[in-house]
Chains A and B, each alone.
Chain A
Amino acid sequence: AQKITQTQPGMFVQEKEAVTLDCTYDTSDQSYGLFWYKQPSSGEMIFLIYQGSYDEQNATEGRYSLNFQKARKSANLVISASQLGDSAMYFCAMTSAGKSTFGDGTTLTVKP
């Protein structure tokens, strides 16, 4: 069975500082994809970043980077230079064998 664990229900960060959102996963599959999504208060799900299980380099997309540690089964999201608009709920997800599993989410609040 697949499982995603996000241990931080809520996080606070000062504007312009970096923040790391934790995500650990559990799967017996060798091939899988890891995703991070942002869900603002409007409810839509915004794709942020993707890491394939066979990718050797950590994925980066603008201010977002994924700290992928395969042996530890962790896929933490790092947001650099936080902005007020980054305040939202963040979901870590894994897809494998055509199925997606989501974590419970982390609510990030950026303080001015």
Chain B
Amino acid sequence: GAVVSQHPSWVICKSGTSVKIECRSLDFQATTMFWYRQFPKQSLMLMATSNEGSKATYEQGVEKDKFLINHASLTLSTLTVTSAHPEDSSFYICSARDPRGAGNTIYFGEGSWLTVV
């Protein structure tokens, strides 16, 4: 079964509104979670690294005021797309690093399709 759960799987929102996507690690505590965006037929683009209890580290070119990331607990990170516009429509996916063992195992969420109309 899934070890990282992402919700919602599909969301449609109106332009100008905000939408929140949740990423949960189900059977381990994830001190580090990652948020990606995928454009059609392209690879995943890392948006930010979310560290529990501290500010997220954003990749160059990603607007931190638009894509708010909160990692308030060891099992939950949220991505909020603020004042969404149609160009924000995309597939967003999170992953969480399992600190157990070698600490190099990454589990992915199922992804969230965002459509802004």
Which of the segments B67-75, B79-87, B105-113 contacts the partner chain?
B105-113
Are A45 and B108 in contact, CB atoms less than 8 angstroms apart? yes
- Minimum Cβ distance to chain A for residue B69 (Å): 16
Q: Is the CB of A33 within 8 A of B104?
A: yes
Give the secondary structure class of A's interface.
strand
Q: Give the one of B97, B104, B111, B113 with max A CB within 10 A.
A: B104
Q: Is the beta-carbon distance between A44 and B104 smaller than 8 angstroms?
A: no
From A45, A47, A52, B104 is in contact (CB under 8 Å) with A52
B60 interface contact, C-beta 8 A: no
B39-81 Cβ-contact flags toward A at 8 Å (1 or 0): 0001110100100000000000000000000000000000000
Q: Which of B38, B93, B104, B109 contacts A95, CB < 8 Å? A: B104
- Residues A44 and B102 in contact, CB atoms below 8 Å apart: no
Chain A residue at minimal CB-CB distance from B31: A98
Q: Which residues of B contact A33 (CB under 8 A)?
A: 102, 104-106
B103 closest partner in A (C-beta) = A98
> A57 vs B46: C-alpha distance in the bound complex, in angstroms?
30
CA distance A106 to B42 in the complex (A): 10
Of A95, A103, A104, which contacts B106 at CB under 8 A? A95
Residue of B with least CB distance to A54: B102
Asked whether A104 lies within 8 Å of B104 as measured between CB atoms, the reply is no
Say yes or no: A43 contacts B106, CB within 8 Å. Answer: no
B93 in contact with A45 (CB, 8 Å):
yes
Residues in B with CB closer than 8 Å to A99 are 49
Asked whether B111 lies within 8 Å of A45 as measured between CB atoms, the reply is yes
In the complex, 7 of the A-B residue pairs with CB atoms within 8 angstroms, ordered by the A residue number, are A33-B104, A43-B111, A50-B105, A95-B104, A95-B105, A98-B49, A102-B43
Binding site for B on A (CB under 8 A): 31-33, 35, 37, 43-45, 47, 50, 52, 91, 93, 95-96, 98-100, 102-105
Binding site for A on B (CB under 8 A): 32, 34, 38, 42-44, 46, 49, 91, 93, 95, 97, 102-111, 113
The 8 closest A-B pairs by CB, nearest first: A33-B104, A45-B108, A104-B43, A44-B110, A95-B104, A43-B111, A102-B44, A102-B43
